[in-house]
Amino acid sequence: MFSELQNKVTVIANEKCMIEQSAIDQFMTAAALPGVTRAVGLPDLHPGKTPVGVVIETKNIIYPHLIGNDIGCGMGLFETNCRVKKYKQDRFFKKLNDIQSLRDIPAENPYSEKSPIPDLGTIGGGNHFAEFQTVEKIYDDEAFQTLNIDRDQVLLLVHSGSRSYGDQIFSDFSDPNGISTGSERAEKYLAAHDDALTWAQRNRQIVAHKLTEFLGYATDLKMLIDCCHNFMERSCERYVHRKGAVSALVGSVIIPGSRGSLSYIVEPTVDTAVSLFSLSHGAGRKWIRSLCKGRLKDKYKRNEIHETKLKSITVCHDTDLLYEEAPEAYKGIEHIIGVLVQHGLCKVIATLRPLLTFKA
């Protein structure tokens, strides 16, 4: 079966990019679904409930299960109104360590519509996070200036999505056999999907406001970049499913590493057709969660799991999650970015260094 797919399948990688056979198998199975016209595996491709790090284009049919339950999950980058020179690591850590999760900080819905997310203003578990960062290095001054980023401010990167709202949509519409486009069911899914995108972005904004206000800074935040990586894009009669992939048609995007590595601000090149106009969403997992603690528990002394080689620190009260999300569990972000640059898909504008990562 797989040999018949070669003309419509592309995997973007190189010899430094480790992609597990299980991820390739999942990807090829998705590519073989009825109605798939093209399928692209990006360098951060890894296995999940469905393959992550993929772009699947279809005609006349859509597959909600390829998008998954966290519709609109993505990255929001904000300025914090905290000057780098005034940033106090100990103060931020102590303040944030006093709360178990963002549910401990009350939030009101500032929008006129009723929120479909009961826990609005939370980031969720797993690989979601809120991370305070600083500009590490600028590679393209002109492109950096167009983003209007104040390099003297601490930045905040929020990784979250539509939370329980996406779960409900997934439960209502997921069907491994797909949904015919033009049908009433397809239109209802697409309308709910688009609403989830809106609320996922709003959720990231509220998370950023909650955190900065809790830490004592002004909440008139400036959103610098917002890009989602679990969503469907319509183009004429084609439907582009992105699972763990960002659009290359929205301008500059941010591609994070693990909590112990740099994040990259990149600018897509003019022609990204080979990747179905998409870029990677992050480093991609190297180890499944169940293996992490066993492989790492003897490597770290007490509390060292909270610290990284970049001198950043993580606030998280779930020790198992800390091991599951350890930097070692992820591929090297520098290799992922290297593949994208090698294939002419983007150029690096700047890198950001983690200061403090908050999880849960």
Residues 6+ apart with CB under 8 A from 202: 111, 120
Cα separation of 59 and 70, whole Å?
Answer: 23
Note the pLDDT of residue 290: 87
What total of structural domains would you count in the chain?
1
Task: Round to the nearest angstrom and report the end-to-end CA distance of the chain.
Answer: 42
pLDDT of 248: 97
Three-state secondary structure call for residue 345: coil
Q: What is the dihedral of CA 303, 309, 311, 317, to 10 degrees?
A: -30
Please provide the size of the chain in residues.
Answer: 360
**Host H or E run for residue 232:** strand 230-235
Q: Are the C-beta atoms of 72 and 293 separated by less than 8 Å?
A: no
Give alpha helix (H) positions in the chain: 21-31, 64-67, 89-97, 141-146, 163-173, 184-214, 289-296, 319-324, 333-342
Q: Which residues sit opposite 263 in a β-bridge?
A: 352
In the three-class reduction of DSSP (H, G, I as helix; E, B as strand; rest coil), residue 118 is classed as coil
Structure-block tokens of residue 299: 């490597």
| 164 contacts 117 by C-beta, under 8 angstroms | yes
Whether 128 is catalytic: no
Which residues partner with 267 through β-bridges?
347
Residue 297's nearest CA partner among 319, 316, 330, 327 is: 319
Main-chain phi, psi angles of 73, to 5 degrees: -55, 135
For residue 142, the model assigns a pLDDT of 96
Q: What is the pLDDT along the chain (360 residues), one digit of tens a residue?
A: 455 677 899 999 988 888 999 999 999 999 999 999 999 999 999 999 999 999 999 999 999 999 999 999 999 999 999 999 999 999 999 999 999 899 999 888 999 999 999 999 999 988 999 999 999 999 999 999 999 999 999 999 999 999 999 999 999 999 999 999 999 999 999 999 999 999 999 999 999 999 999 999 977 889 999 999 999 999 888 999 999 999 999 999 999 988 889 999 999 999 999 999 999 999 989 888 988 999 988 888 767 888 899 999 999 989 899 889 988 889 999 999 999 999 999 999 999 999 999 998
DSSP state of 203: H
Catalytic residue among 281, 306, 335, 343: 281
CA distance 23 to 53: 9
Angle, CA 228 vertex, CA 37 and CA 277 arms, to 5°: 40
d(CA 42, CA 53): 5
Exposure b/e, 252-285, CB count within 10 A at least 16 = b: bbbbbbbbbbbbbbbbbeeebeebbbbbbbbbbb
Q: Which among 130, 354, 358 has a CA at the least distance from the CA of 264?
A: 354
- Give the residue from 355, 352, 354, 353 showing the smallest Cα distance to 90: 355
Residue 154 · residue 92 · CB < 8 Å: no
Give me the DSSP letters along 119-157: TTT---STT-EEEEEEEEEES-HHHHHHTT--TTEEEEE
Domain range for 226: 2-358
Helices then strands, each counted (H, E), the chain: 9, 17
- CATH no. for residue 145? 3.90.1860.10
> What was the pLDDT predicted at 360?
80
- Residues 174, 169: Cα–Cα separation, whole Å: 8
pLDDT at 1: 47
> What's the pTM?
0.95
